[in-house]
């Protein structure tokens, strides 16, 4: 018996590449950090650091302001880096 030859079936399409994203920390970390960051600069919170203490000759309030500011920048940079596709 002679059966008609069928053309070969094309291979199935490859699955779409899955992005290698890391899960954000507790949702959208950048939004949380951006909203929570200014809370550390409210007068009642800053009053906790307003003491007659110096750290290496620098008043504690100045150390507090720059430490919170630097921590906010570092945390937002880390969360932005975590959101990028590897």
- pTM > 0.75: no
Residue range 54-65, pLDDT digits in tens: 999 999 999 999
What span, in angstroms and rounded, lies between the C-alpha atoms of 72 and 24?
Answer: 16
Least confident of 27-31, 36-40, 53-57, 67-71: 27-31
Who has greater pLDDT, 85 or 17?
Answer: 17
Who has greater pLDDT, 54 or 81?
Answer: 54
Q: Is the pLDDT of residue 36 over 90?
A: no
Please tell me whether residue 48 adopts helix, strand or coil conformation.
Answer: helix
The predicted pLDDT at position 22 comes to: 54
Please tell me whether residue 29 adopts helix, strand or coil conformation.
Answer: helix
φ and ψ at residue 54, rounded to 5 degrees:
-120, 150
């Amino acid at each position: 018996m002679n059966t008609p030859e069928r053309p070969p079936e094309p291979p199935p399409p490859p699955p779409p590449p899955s992005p290698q994203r890391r899960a954000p920390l507790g949702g959208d970390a950048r939004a949380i950090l951006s909203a929570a960051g200014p809370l550390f600069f409210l007068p009642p919170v800053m009053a906790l650091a307003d003491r007659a203490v110096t750290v290496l000759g620098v008043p504690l309030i100045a150390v507090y302001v720059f430490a919170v500011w630097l921590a906010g920048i570092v945390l937002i940079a880390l969360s932005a880096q975590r959101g990028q596709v590897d």
